[in-house]
Structure 1
Amino acid sequence: MDFDAFVRRRASAGALVVQPRMGFMDPEAMRAGLAATRAADATTVGTLTLDSYTRLRDEAALATALAEGRPLNGYPLTTHPPEVTARMLAGLRGPDFPVQVRHGSAVPRHIFESMIGLGLSASEGGPISYCLPYGRTPLAQSVRNWADSTRLFATLRERGAQPHLESFGGCLLGQLCPPSLLVAVSVLEALFFHQHGVRSVSVSYAQQTNATQDREAVAALRRLCAELLPEPSWHVVIYAYMGLYPVTPRGAYRMLASAAELAVRSGAERLIVKTVAESMRIPTVEENVAALEFAAAAADTVRGWTGGEVAEVDADNEVYREAAALVDAVRDLHPDLGTALAEAFTKGYLDIPYCLHPDNQGRTRSYIDEEGRLRWADSGDLPFGRGGDGGGLAGRARTVTSAALHADLHHVRYAYDADEGPADDILAAVALPALPALPPGP
């Protein structure tokens, strides 16, 4: 089963592939969630999102939670016996409904071992994107872990399956990370996967604060992949905004409609949806299905308006120039990309704003300008050169106060929860889902 080929085939037929971030601890509940995803009125792929204890490989805490019947925030793939998971998946996954495992682990070998045993051939993550935002695993250790796990995952080809990895680099902390750094890390992780034997990849980009800048970022991501990836087996996945999400139902659906519009206008093949319950709790199956169907309808509406044409973007835009400078500087550090990535963070060539991981220099800062674009307030030692005209480059540092940071963190939420907001034209054309009365959720 080839995850990338499925997505690109559906996209070439005019469909946006939509996907939930769904995971339940109970196999029956997980099966029901996958079945509902498959049956949704949309072109979908399934998701097994794993719980945080499995992600951190905290087996003692996981055993205690299961023994005490405490709920988990995902599916404990490595704890359930393989035959239990095989029964859970039976009759659901297949060539017309691939399933991806999503986990968030910087120590992922046990997860990949379980996946290989079950014949699950699609996952996501990366040595940077699954290390810096999620814990305190030393970056050099995460790089070694992911090199080992990627090589292990690549052995699936010997069993007739095509292993697929999606870089989570386009998300990182989810918000206030200028697009050039998101693009650069996603491309670098995809190159890392290739270097360690996985040839089928997807590159991610999380919707940020300005629609025009986001389209420029996806164009930059596509251009860099076309220039650097040695094989054409890749596609782009968009994430609905990963920061503070709107709290009103209308605001949440505006946000999702904008994400679907970004996917269509940028030519992305897949969209990770978020739900109306996103700001409150873990979504139910019904809320996930409603989000999938709404996103698919919104995408179809935008495609009808545009005729499916990708929006024109300057190929040499600011995001591309910055991202290319980052990628080139890292690749010049060492032939082994894992070694280069670790050294890049030591030198500050890669530095994530507001990230508290000990291996992140923490010298960069960002802000949202008057147009709603994310820019560098302080680029630290990022290899952009000095001087310049201030167009996102080093040389024009700006102080970010705590009040300004608070306002920037809430910028998107307030914009989409306003009485009038982005994507109201799409909401006027696509009926909002009518959800049944639902319990508070897990």
Structure 2
Amino acid sequence: MSGGGFGAFVRRARQAGELVVQPRMGMSDPAQMRAGLLATKGAAGRTVGTVTLDSYTRVNDLESAELALLEGVPLNGYPIVSHDLRTTRQVLDGIHGAEFPVQVRHGSAAPLDIFRALMAVGLDASEGGPVSYCLPYGRIPLHQSMANWERSCELFSRLRELGLEPHLETFGGCMLGQLCPPSQLVAISALEALFFHQHGLRSISASYAQQTHRQQDMEAVFALRRLCAELLPGADWHVVVYAYMGVYPTTPRGSLALLGEAAELAAATGSERLIVKTVAESVRIPTVAENVDALEHAAARAARTARIADDGADSQTYAEAAALVAAVLDLDADVGRAMLLAFRRGYLDIPYCLHPDNQGRTRSYLDREGRLRWADTGRLPLAGVVAAGTSHSVTSGELLAALSYLRWKYDEDAITAGTGRALPGSTG
């Protein structure tokens, strides 16, 4: 693809003052996948395409993916490794290009075959990470995921030999989607971005998932931007915000209000890209039309939002994230080995994550304002940053309430406004 690839497209949008909006979209049927890309390309707003892969491909169960294709069984995404190259090229033909890049999204801790397949059809953008696509999704050892991602990054970077600029986005800012204090999301996203850079990538995006408190989210995005500037000199990087990854509102009005808040967060903080959610998130996989509606709603909200300048002050979120990053990087010059050591020592520790390589000593809670706070910092290197003696006993009821906090908040607002009918099929 001429024109500099995915990162260059986002850079041009930034120069034009536009937020790039992107769906989560993946269908196993090639004709439906092509139709979804065409609809995304035609949506009002500055859009990029997405090919999200199926869960069999994610875990390298290619036999099951191929059997489903043979039997005509629909999958929950596009099996890029199992479809032949000609089929995928036909899906992309006349759509993918400098003015409409396409990113492959997958969720794999062993993505080498995925990178081989996407490179073979001329795609140059993907996402993930050795931590963020390992700990939440399975039991593959973290050291194995780290080695898999090292090989994948080094392979992917070879696209530069063909005149393409490969782009990788870290999923680290979305760990488990919710209930992880923003400082650790920011730290892992920044560390995975540095991991990509250390293994040959020069076009990188760092992610952050919208959480439960607008001001805290703004602090987090500003902290992420500052850390990327410090850690990635000379790289072409940008920040991508994800609409809330947790339990979503059941009412159309509530869903659109929460998406609108994500669009405003991205635009106000100078973030360059937004991954949207739709009105159907609480019920089912959204239709193409629902994805287009979400893209256009987000683009319109972003266009009406003024950017807010970062005052440069050290917020609590930045102080915590910077302390975590510094402690990890002090462990080893190789960021991959440093992250492995950090999880072994508890310097990185994801609340409520059951992966065997996560110590599981940390806990978090929502305060009365809706901010995510540390209930227990475990062995995190935050002495002197988080107030000594800070602790909070989290009950099971409190945890369940926190998981549904935003659903209740935005649906209640919709009901108060008289438009609170839930979507058909919702249990909420």
Q: TM-score, normalised by structure 2?
A: 0.95
Aligned position for 1:344: 342
Instruction: Confirm or deny that 1:287 pairs with 2:290.
Output: yes
**Cα offset, 1:313, TM superposition:** 4.6
Instruction: Confirm or deny that 1:410 pairs with 2:404.
Output: yes
Closer/same/farther in 2, CA of residues 215 and 332 from structure 1, 3 Å limit: same
Aligned letter for 2:130? P
Unaligned 5+ segments in structure 2 are 418-422
Closer/same/farther in 2, CA of residues 137 and 196 from structure 1, 3 Å limit: same
Q: Deviations over 1:231-274 (max 9, x none)?
A: 24000000000000011100100010000010111110100000
Aligned ranges 1:21-40 → 2 under 5 Å? 21-40=24-43
Aligned partner of residue 280 in structure 2, secondary structure: coil
Aligned partner of residue 174 in structure 2, secondary structure: coil
The whole-number CA distance in structure 2 between the counterparts of 1:261 and 1:24 is 29
Given that 1:18 and 1:42 are in contact with CA atoms closer than 8 Å, whether structure 2 keeps it comes out as yes
Q: Deviations over 1:132-170 (max 9, x none)?
A: 011111000000000010000000000000010000000
The whole-number CA distance in structure 2 between the counterparts of 1:399 and 1:438 is 37
Instruction: Confirm or deny that 1:129 pairs with 2:132.
Output: yes
Figure out how many residues of one structure are paired with residues of the other and give that number.
419
Aligned partner of residue 419 in structure 1, secondary structure: helix
Identity %: 63
Given that 2:204 and 2:235 are in contact with CA atoms closer than 8 Å, whether structure 1 keeps it comes out as no
Aligned ranges 1:381-420 → 2 under 5 Å? 381-385=379-383, 388=384, 392-393=386-387, 395-419=389-413
Aligned position for 1:47: 50
Aligned position for 1:316: 314
The whole-number CA distance in structure 1 between the counterparts of 2:415 and 2:365 is 21
The whole-number CA distance in structure 2 between the counterparts of 1:31 and 1:145 is 30
**Cα offset, 1:314, TM superposition:** 5.1
Aligned letter for 1:180? S
Choose the corresponding residue for 1:358, options 356, 359, 364.
356
Given that 1:168 and 1:203 are in contact with CA atoms closer than 8 Å, whether structure 2 keeps it comes out as yes
Given that 1:174 and 1:243 are in contact with CA atoms closer than 8 Å, whether structure 2 keeps it comes out as yes
The whole-number CA distance in structure 1 between the counterparts of 2:415 and 2:329 is 41
Given that 2:167 and 2:201 are in contact with CA atoms closer than 8 Å, whether structure 1 keeps it comes out as yes
Given that 1:378 and 1:394 are in contact with CA atoms closer than 8 Å, whether structure 2 keeps it comes out as no
Given that 2:247 and 2:403 are in contact with CA atoms closer than 8 Å, whether structure 1 keeps it comes out as yes
Given that 1:326 and 1:349 are in contact with CA atoms closer than 8 Å, whether structure 2 keeps it comes out as yes
Aligned letter for 2:248? Y
Instruction: Confirm or deny that 1:276 pairs with 2:279.
Output: yes
Given that 1:256 and 1:295 are in contact with CA atoms closer than 8 Å, whether structure 2 keeps it comes out as yes
Aligned position for 2:10: 7
Aligned position for 2:420: none
Aligned letter for 1:363? R
The whole-number CA distance in structure 1 between the counterparts of 2:400 and 2:312 is 32
Aligned partner of residue 237 in structure 1, secondary structure: strand
Aligned position for 2:64: 61
The whole-number CA distance in structure 1 between the counterparts of 2:388 and 2:62 is 45
The whole-number CA distance in structure 2 between the counterparts of 1:282 and 1:195 is 36
Q: Deviations over 1:273-298 (max 9, x none)?
A: 00000110000000000000111111
Closer/same/farther in 2, CA of residues 383 and 148 from structure 1, 3 Å limit: same
Instruction: Confirm or deny that 1:219 pairs with 2:222.
Output: yes
Instruction: Confirm or deny that 1:84 pairs with 2:78.
Output: no
Instruction: Confirm or deny that 1:247 pairs with 2:250.
Output: yes
The whole-number CA distance in structure 1 between the counterparts of 2:110 and 2:295 is 31
**Cα offset, 1:439, TM superposition:** 12
**Cα offset, 1:230, TM superposition:** 2.6
The whole-number CA distance in structure 2 between the counterparts of 1:118 and 1:414 is 44
Instruction: Confirm or deny that 1:301 pairs with 2:304.
Output: yes
Q: TM-score, normalised by structure 1?
A: 0.92
Closer/same/farther in 2, CA of residues 394 and 147 from structure 1, 3 Å limit: farther
The whole-number CA distance in structure 2 between the counterparts of 1:98 and 1:109 is 21
CA RMSD of aligned residues (A): 1.9
The whole-number CA distance in structure 2 between the counterparts of 1:229 and 1:162 is 17
The whole-number CA distance in structure 2 between the counterparts of 1:147 and 1:6 is 26
Aligned letter for 2:277? K
Aligned position for 2:108: 105
The whole-number CA distance in structure 2 between the counterparts of 1:421 and 1:271 is 27
Aligned letter for 1:248? T
After the TM superposition, which of the residue ranges 214-223 and 67-76 deviates more from structure 2? 67-76
Aligned partner of residue 238 in structure 2, secondary structure: strand
Runs of 4+ in 1 over 4 A off after TM superposition: 311-314, 391-394, 437-440
The whole-number CA distance in structure 1 between the counterparts of 2:89 and 2:231 is 37
**Cα offset, 1:68, TM superposition:** 2.9
Aligned position for 1:93: 96
Closer/same/farther in 2, CA of residues 250 and 392 from structure 1, 3 Å limit: farther
Aligned position for 1:203: 206
Choose the corresponding residue for 2:188, options 171, 176, 185.
185
